[in-house]
């Protein structure tokens, strides 16, 4: 079900180019790939319908918005039952500081990527929104020194050209 869509080299090249700049026009895309613009449009529509392309996101600089400090919070939720973790997840997702949230294997159940103003703001966030809630058994905070984006996402075995 996951890989129900067949991706030929043209699709792969389109995905690779659009990951560099999602605003590339179909005209430029067509010129780079070597097909007609209408074909490009068809391919992208098909990739969107097929769920390969989930959407177009804006990449923002949190520091430019006054959130100069980023951190990862490892959170243990105990007891780890559905009626507790559902509300926990929704509450964390709604926090203005939250960037993304993961449910993981291992001793720490959740990992939260947050962007805050400074260390004092981080302390406030951890105390008021995490450790003060009774379902939160433990929080471990790690600051992010630096982060990097990686190469384009491609299927296994696709040459990175």
The H or E element containing residue 75 is: strand 69-77
* Bond from prior residue into 79 cis (ω within 30 degrees of 0): yes
Write down the residue that tokens 């179909």 correspond to. Answer: 26
Q: How many residues at the interface with a copy of itself, by CB under 8 A?
A: 68
Identify the residue among 5, 36, 63, 144 touching DNA (CB under 7 A). Answer: 36
35 contacts DNA (rule: CB under 7 A): yes
Work out what residue 32 binds among a copy of itself, DNA, none; the CB cut-off runs from 5 to 8 Å by kind.
none
Q: What is the CA radius of gyration of the chain?
A: 20
Angle (nearest 5°) at CA 57 between 55 and 61: 165
Work out what residue 122 binds among a copy of itself, DNA, none; the CB cut-off runs from 5 to 8 Å by kind.
none
Minimum Å distance from CB 26 to DNA?
A: 4
In eight-state DSSP terms, residue 114 is: E
Q: Which residues bind DNA (CB under 7 A)?
A: 8, 10, 25-28, 35-39, 41-43, 45
């Amino acid at each position: 079900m996951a890989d129900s869509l067949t991706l030929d080299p043209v699709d792969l090249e389109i995905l690779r180019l659009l990951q560099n700049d999602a605003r590339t026009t179909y005209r430029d895309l067509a010129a780079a790939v070597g097909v007609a613009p209408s074909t490009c449009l068809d391919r992208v529509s098909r990739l969107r319908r097929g769920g390969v392309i989930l959407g177009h996101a804006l990449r923002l600089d949190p520091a430019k918005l006054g959130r100069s400090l980023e951190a990862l919070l490892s959170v243990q939720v105990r007891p780890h039952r559905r009626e507790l973790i559902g509300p926990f997840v929704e509450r964390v997702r709604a926090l203005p500081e939250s960037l993304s949230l993961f449910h993981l294997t291992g001793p720490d159940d959740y990992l939260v990527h947050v962007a805050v103003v400074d260390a004092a703001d981080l302390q406030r966030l951890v105390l008021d929104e995490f450790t003060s809630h009774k379902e939160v058994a433990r929080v471990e905070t790690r600051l992010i020194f630096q982060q990097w984006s990686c190469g384009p996402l491609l299927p296994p075995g696709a040459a990175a050209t």
